[in-house]
Amino acid sequence: MKLRKIRKRIRDYFDITGLSEIARRYFVMNAFDGALTMLGIIIGAFVSGVIDHRIIIGTGITASLAMGISGVSGAYMTEKAERIRDLKKLESALLINLKATKHGKATRFAWFFAAFVDGASPALAAMFVISPFFLTAYGLMSEIQAFRASIAMTFSLLFGLGGYLARTSDESIWKYGIQMLIVGLLTALACMGIALYVK
């Protein structure tokens, strides 16, 4: 019963604040960033001839941590400022204090939830991309196999994000998925070119 009340309250908060749309944008944009960041790191390591799972894992974890902290703190401060401004405008129009009301609580929930999504999505995407290298650490996969699996998983994730956007906009999954794959491919080629240039 208590869990049902909590779920209803959260649904109400989403409805009041329009949080679903914002969280969806944050999730896709930042998961996309996390995947492409790791793609660049992996390709740079491969072209440089440094396919060491310890370096990939260490770099991946620290990059994921940095993206997570950056996402949480940046979104928290941004959403908080925007939500407080909107709440104050509404309070001014209604001539009442809304902080203790459901609207005020929904506003606070919105900036915390948005910050969580903004920080978690790139970090989780990045860790997903480098996950094959954890198998290498336990001797279950060679480093070249991990590299290939990681590239394949990156492009699968990009296609999946494109498909998710397509469902949201009621468009072709293939169209959005392929567009995401093209961006990933261009990123891979650019990273490869830079890595070869500085090698």
| Structure confidence by residue, pLDDT tens digits, 57-116 | 898 899 889 988 988 888 888 888 888 888 888 778 777 776 778 888 888 888 889 889
Q: 174 in a domain, yes or no?
A: yes
Residue span of the structural domain in which 192 resides: 11-125+139-198
As a whole-number percent, the residues of the chain with pLDDT over 70 amount to 98
Q: 88 in a domain, yes or no?
A: yes
Burial of 1 (0-12, 13-18, 19+ CB in 10 A): exposed
* Other beta carbons within 10 Å of 41: 20
What is the count of structural domains for the chain? 1
CA distance linking residue 112 with residue 76, whole number of Å = 6
CA distance linking residue 93 with residue 88, whole number of Å = 9
Which H helix or E strand runs over 176?
helix 173-198
Q: Is the pLDDT of residue 2 over 80?
A: no
Q: Is the pLDDT of residue 35 over 90?
A: yes
CA distance linking residue 162 with residue 177, whole number of Å = 4
